[in-house]
Amino acid sequence: MTEKKRVCMICGKPSEVSICDPCKARIQGEAMDKKQKTEREVRIGPEAEKEKKKKR
Ligand SMILES: [Zn+2]
């Protein structure tokens, strides 16, 4: 029987789970950053349109 060494699929460090806690936290943080960025961009869109209309 071959013992499979479990390592993190992100950083390759020995880990009991496929993604170790530090990497999981980092991925979740990046996902949140992306979400916030998208929400901000969406929010900026309509407001920019309003600004254009105000100037007219
Ligand atoms: Zn990791």
**pLDDT at residue 14, rounded to an integer:** 95
What is the whole-number distance in angstroms between the Cα of residue 3 and the centre of ligand 1? 20
Please give the single-letter amino acid code of residue 36: Q
- Give dist(CA 22, CA 30) in Å, integer: 12
Q: What residue spans define the domains of the chain?
A: 1-56
**pLDDT at residue 1, rounded to an integer:** 64
What is the whole-number distance in angstroms between the Cα of residue 34 and the centre of ligand 1? 20
**pLDDT at residue 53, rounded to an integer:** 74
- Give dist(CA 43, CA 9) in Å, integer: 35
CB 20 within 8 A of CB 11: yes
What is the whole-number distance in angstroms between the Cα of residue 8 and the centre of ligand 1? 5
* pLDDT by 10s per residue, the chain, length 56: 666 789 999 999 999 999 999 999 999 999 988 888 788 777 766 667 777 777 66
